[in-house]
Amino acid sequence: VPSGPSSDVEEFGRLLKSSKRVLALCGAGLSASSGLDTFRGAGGMWRNHQAATLATPEAFERDPGLVWLFYSYRRHKALQASPNAGHYALVELSKKMPGFITLTQNVDGLSQRANHPREQLKLLHGSLFDIKCFNCTYVQQNNYDDPLDPILAIDSPSDDRLATSKTSIAARAAYLDPATPPTIAPADLPHCPSCKTGLLRPGVVWFGEELPADTLREVQTFIDQGPIDLIMVIGTTATVYPAAGYVARARAKGAKVALVNMDAGELGAIGSLNKGDFLFEGDAAKILPEILK
C-alpha cells in the first residue's frame, strides 16, 4: 500500500530547516481571510459575470466601462483589506531564508503592504495598482488612487450596488437586460497621458496575455540555479498556466510539495501527493504561521 502525504507539523519543520532553496506558489486563497474573493467557487461572481470572463482583452474591448467597474471594485476592496497572518508568515520566512522566493498570482498588493522583501516576491499576474495603457507602453506603478477616476467611484450612478446579494431582483434584471447600454461611454473613461488616445487599464495579466518577461526570467534563473528542496502551494487551484506549471518544474528539480488549501480535493496541476509530500488542509492565514514558525 503506497503511503500518502504527511500532515505532521514537526516533520515539516525538519524538512524546512534542512532546506536551502524553497518556493511558494500563492493564489487567491492566501487573501481569502483578509476578506477578498477567490476566482473560482463561491466568491467568483461579480454582477452575475464569472470573474474569468471579465479578465480578458476581448472583454475590455467589448465593454471597457464594465471591465473597469469590476477592477475599480476590486481595487477598492483590496485597499480596504489588510494583510493577514499568512502574508506576514511568508515575509518572516523570506527574511530568515535568502533562498526562499514567493511566486504570487495575486494582484491585490497585500504581500507588498506586509513589507515582503521585493527581490523575494515575484508578481506573476501583475498588480491592480499598476496602471497601463491599452495601446502604448505607458505604465504607472503604485497608483493607489481610489477611485482612479471619479467616473469609477463605486458609489457613482454606475456603481457597484448590484454586486451585493441584497440587491433588488428588479435592479439586477434591468442590468442583465441585453438592451442595457455600456455602463460608461469609453470616451468618459481615463485615457493615457502619453499617447492620449489609448484607454488606461489595470496592470494585471489577462487570459491570452504574456506574463511579465522580466519576472519569468527571474524565476527561471532561480530554477536553473540548482536543486529545489520544497514548493509550498498555497491557496490556489493551480489551474492557470504558466503559473501552475511551476509545481511540476520544482518537482523535476527534486522538490517535495506541501499543499496548503481550504479544500484538499483541489489538486489542479499538482497531480497526486506522494510520500514525502505534505498536506495541510484549512485556512492559509491560520496554517502558515503554525508551519513556518
Q: Which residues are known binding-site members?
A: 133, 136, 192, 195
| Beta carbon of residue 1, minimum distance to ligand BJW (angstroms, whole number) | 28
Cis before 5? omega within 30: no
Options 27, 64, 109, 147; binder of ligand BJW; rule CB under 6 A: 27
With CB under 5 to 8 Å by kind, the binding choice for 236 among Zn ion, ligand BJW, none is ligand BJW
Query: Residue 253 binds which one of ligand BJW, Zn ion, none, with CB within 5 to 8 A depending on kind?
Result: none
- Residue stretches of the annotated binding site for Zn(2+): 133, 136, 192, 195
Place of cell 518537482: 251
Contact partner, 28, from Zn ion, ligand BJW, none, Cβ < 5-8 Å per class: ligand BJW
Q: How far apart are CA 50 and CA 44, in angstroms?
A: 6
For 290, the grid coordinates are 503554525
Name the one residue in this structure whose C-alpha cell is 450612478: 157
Among candidate residues 76, 87, 125, 191, the one labeled active-site is 125
* Set of cell numbers at residue 19: 532546506
By CB under 6 A, name the one of 240, 259, 267, 270 that touches ligand BJW: 240
User: Site map for ligand BJW, 60-79, x if CB under 6 A?
Assistant: --------------------
Cα separation, 171 vs 161, whole angstroms: 9
Beta bridge partners of 103: 25, 122
136 binding Zn ion? (CB under 5 A): yes
Q: Is 195 in the site for Zn ion (CB under 5 A)?
A: yes
DSSP 94: H
Cell 504527511, residue located: 6
Binding residues for ligand BJW restricted to 136-195, rule: CB under 6 A: none
Four-point Cα dihedral 239, 242, 246, 252, nearest 10: 110
User: Closest Cα partner for 238 from 270, 277, 263, 282?
Assistant: 270
Span 90-119, contacts to ligand BJW by CB under 6 A: 105, 107
**Where along the sequence are the contacts to ligand BJW (CB under 6 A)?**
27-29, 32-33, 38-41, 44, 52, 55, 105, 107, 125, 204-210, 235-237, 239-242, 261-263, 266, 283-284
